[in-house]
Amino acid sequence: MDTQEIIGKIQTALEKCSTDSSIDKKDIRIKLSIKKGLIVNDTRCVLMNKKDDLHEIDLRTLLNINPMQSLAVGKYLSSTLSGLAKKEGIKDTDVNARIFTKSEDFYPSVTLFNENKKVREITVEELTK
């Protein structure tokens, strides 16, 4: 998937989550963190309302992708988060990225966090490279 296709899927996911949960688009967040596995790490996705965790959501459902793609994307995102954590001096267990929107068309913005402390804004390209 190229970056524009990924951005499109994230826009659709943010809009669907906002509509399904009745959370205003300026308050909806999707938190991505590393989910440690026995053999391979995966990505944990949590729906948030502002700063409050609501519930875990399935990556496959969120992005409307098949199970095999979901496994590959989850592994890839956890690896990217791990790389960003290392670059910023954050433990893998503490790093998370929060996807949100500031625009009418749900164009995604991403912020990197160390637990609940904002580290810096990152691009979708950084998250998916």
- DSSP letters of 57-109? E-HHHHHT--HHHHHHHHHHHHHHHHHHHHHHT--TTTEEEEEEE-STT--EE
Per-residue pLDDT for 40 more than 90? no
Average pLDDT over residues 68-90: 92
pLDDT at residue 91, rounded to an integer: 95
Top-level class of domain 3-128: alpha beta
Average pLDDT over residues 49-78: 91
pLDDT at residue 1, rounded to an integer: 65
Check: pTM over 0.85? Answer yes or no: yes
Range with the poorest average pLDDT among 34-38, 81-85, 116-120: 34-38
